[in-house]
């Protein structure tokens, strides 16, 4: 067969360009210089075809002692495909349960990646997130953190981690500043406080932040003691008794839903009535389960944390999707976990759309260039620094009122005026 004949017989029935032999064509394909124009000349596709679907592995503690929070986060993942489809994103959710265990979180991350996940989102708890982060770093797969505050997650030099959530230092710093604003707005300033916190990774990270920051914050009260407890304990009678014995005016807490419920129940039982319960950024006090179990005793607790913007167009979309899929539940009671999980998936979908591929290097580069203004949470656009941390997150003062999380500060965003000190347990309506 001569060269003229060879030129007439292209692969898959196509034709080779005139003057190019099959051997020369093979050399071009084998090299790194194949361009979209060259392939177009052969009647083929561009060098890198736009991939159509992003597979998102969502890693959450849907069982175990953190199940309530994990299931709340899962709802954000459940509504994400439909909402994001309307915005031009196609995703597939691959769910995995950590069972509230760091070792299982590690193995489930491996399985998600082996099953084809292009990006991991999770994992609510700092300890479980740290385990997933190690796997993602080793495998070169992006991890977008939905909720997890331990500072060290973005301080270890990892190149695959992106966190759209405050660090413990940010939570404590922003939260304590809002506490001073609360005192100024209500004209009541306590003279002393006691800090009760879980002894898990998140609780200990918040304690470290409190220990480091408190002397520099100029708070108008003394911090008398820090009391740690096991969030998996059957009750917190001993810890509450110890806190009550300090004579502190204010209870500062770092909790999750289950231990927040135990804490308040024990405070009512022991008739300990500080001026208020304030959390500088932990979950629990605003979760739906807290309201359902405690009823009137859930009111007046305060959490200073990032919160969703009820006026944002995307919040309206997500809220409507939540109500459609979960008609018997209130969006407000799940909104924090839903919003941050949804935003983490949105961050991944946005990066995928800009990258045009789920190839890890391209996805990582696109994530580093994130600048998302169409979002749910209050504050500036979502961006990441060189460590993968969004440093622009801001907090609001959210007080439980009529068994609903209600913004009371800053004044420009407030739905109601703050109440402080809180009414005694027997005076609740």
Phi/psi zone of residue 248: left (φ > 0), alpha (ψ -120 to 50 degrees), beta?
A: beta
Can you give the pLDDT at residue 379?
86
The list of the chain residues with pLDDT below 70 reads 1-51
Of the candidates 333, 165, 199, 174, the one whose C-alpha atom is nearest the C-alpha of residue 257 is 333
Residue 74: enclosing H or E segment and its boundaries? helix 67-86
What are the residues facing 228 on neighbouring strands? 197
Write the CB contacts of 363 (distance below 8 Å, at least 6 apart in sequence).
118, 119, 142, 348, 351, 352, 355, 357
Could you tell me the sign of the dihedral formed by the alpha carbons of 206, 207, 211, 215, in that order?
positive
**Homologous superfamily (CATH) for 54-166+310-368:** Response regulator (3.40.50.2300)
What are the residues facing 405 on neighbouring strands? 400
Cα(64)–Cα(62) distance, rounded to whole angstroms?
A: 7
Cα(270)–Cα(319) distance, rounded to whole angstroms?
A: 39
Domain locations in the chain as residue ranges: 54-166+310-368, 169-305+396-427
Of the chain, the end-to-end C-alpha distance in Å amounts to 96
Coil/strand/helix, residue 414: coil
Q: Model confidence over 169-188: pLDDT tens digits?
A: 999 999 999 999 999 999 99
Of the candidates 182, 175, 125, the one whose C-alpha atom is nearest the C-alpha of residue 150 is 125
Q: How far is CA 388 from CA 154, 202, 382, in A?
A: 7, 19, 11
Cα(243)–Cα(225) distance, rounded to whole angstroms?
A: 8
Cα(377)–Cα(400) distance, rounded to whole angstroms?
A: 19
Write the CB contacts of 395 (distance below 8 Å, at least 6 apart in sequence).
166, 171, 174, 175, 178, 281, 304, 305, 306, 307
Judge whether 79 and 105 are in contact, CB under 8 Å. Answer: no
Can you give the pLDDT at residue 45?
35
Can you give the pLDDT at residue 6?
38
What are the residues facing 197 on neighbouring strands? 228, 254
Judge whether 393 and 305 are in contact, CB under 8 Å. Answer: no
Dihedral pair phi/psi, residue 57, rounded to 5°: -80, 115
Cα(155)–Cα(29) distance, rounded to whole angstroms?
A: 43
Of the candidates 329, 394, 397, the one whose C-alpha atom is nearest the C-alpha of residue 68 is 329
Can you give the pLDDT at residue 37?
38
Cα(187)–Cα(287) distance, rounded to whole angstroms?
A: 28
**Homologous superfamily (CATH) for 169-305+396-427:** Response regulator (3.40.50.2300)
pTM of the shown model: 0.79
Can you give the pLDDT at residue 1?
44
Judge whether 204 and 230 are in contact, CB under 8 Å. Answer: no
Of the candidates 172, 165, 63, the one whose C-alpha atom is nearest the C-alpha of residue 121 is 165
Cα(401)–Cα(403) distance, rounded to whole angstroms?
A: 5
DSSP structure string for 353-411: HHHSS--HHHHHHHHHT--B-S-SBSSS-B---TTSB------EEEEE-SSSEEEEESG
Cα(197)–Cα(72) distance, rounded to whole angstroms?
A: 22
How many of the other CB atoms lie within 10 Å of CB of 126?
26
Cα(155)–Cα(170) distance, rounded to whole angstroms?
A: 14
Q: Model confidence over 105-156: pLDDT tens digits?
A: 999 999 999 999 999 999 999 999 999 999 999 999 999 999 999 999 999 9
- Burial (CB < 10 A; 0-12, 13-18, 19+), residue 97, is buried
């Amino acid at each position: 067969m001569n060269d003229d004949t060879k030129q007439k017989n292209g692969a898959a029935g196509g034709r080779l360009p005139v003057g190019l032999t099959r051997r020369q064509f093979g050399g071009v394909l084998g090299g790194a210089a194949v361009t979209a124009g060259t392939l177009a000349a052969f009647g083929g596709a561009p060098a890198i075809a736009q991939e159509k679907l992003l597979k998102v592995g969502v890693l959450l503690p849907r069982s175990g002692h953190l199940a309530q929070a994990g299931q709340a986060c899962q709802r954000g993942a459940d509504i994400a495909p439909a909402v994001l489809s309307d915005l031009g994103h196609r995703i597939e959710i691959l769910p995995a349960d950590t069972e509230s265990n760091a070792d299982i979180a590690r193995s489930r991350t491996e399985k998600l990646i082996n099953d084809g996940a292009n990006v991991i989102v999770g994992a609510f708890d700092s300890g479980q997130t740290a385990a997933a982060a190690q796997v993602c770093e080793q495998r070169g797969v992006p991890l977008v953190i939905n909720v997890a505050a331990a500072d060290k997650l973005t301080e270890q030099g990892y190149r695959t981690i992106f966190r759209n959530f405050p660090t413990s230092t940010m939570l404590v710093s922003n939260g304590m500043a809002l506490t001073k604003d609360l005192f100024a707005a209500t004209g009541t300033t306590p003279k002393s406080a006691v800090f009760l916190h879980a002894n898990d990774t998140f609780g200990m990270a918040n304690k470290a932040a409190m220990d480091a920051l408190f002397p520099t914050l100029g708070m108008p009260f003394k911090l008398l003691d820090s009391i740690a407890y096991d969030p998996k304990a059957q009750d917190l009678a001993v810890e509450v008794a110890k806190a009550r014995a300090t004579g502190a005016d204010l209870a500062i807490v770092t909790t999750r839903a289950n231990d927040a419920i135990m804490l308040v129940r024990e405070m009512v039982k022991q008739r300990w009535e500080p001026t208020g319960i304030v959390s500088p950024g932990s979950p629990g006090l605003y979760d739906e389960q807290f309201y359902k179990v405690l009823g009137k005793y859930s009111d007046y607790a305060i959490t200073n944390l990032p919160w969703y913007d009820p006026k944002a167009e995307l919040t309206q979309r997500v809220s409507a999707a939540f109500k459609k899929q979960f008609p018997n539940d209130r969006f407000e009671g799940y909104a924090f976990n839903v919003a941050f999980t949804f935003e983490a998936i949105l961050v991944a979908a946005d990066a995928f759309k800009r990258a045009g591929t789920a190839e890890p290097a391209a996805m990582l580069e696109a994530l580093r260039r994130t600048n998302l203004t169409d979002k749910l949470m209050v504050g500036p656009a979502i961006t990441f620094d060189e460590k993968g941390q969004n440093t622009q997150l801001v907090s609001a003062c959210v007080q439980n009122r009529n068994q609903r999380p209600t913004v009371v500060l800053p004044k420009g965003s407030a739905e109601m005026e703050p109440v402080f000190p809180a009414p005694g347990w027997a005076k609740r309506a």
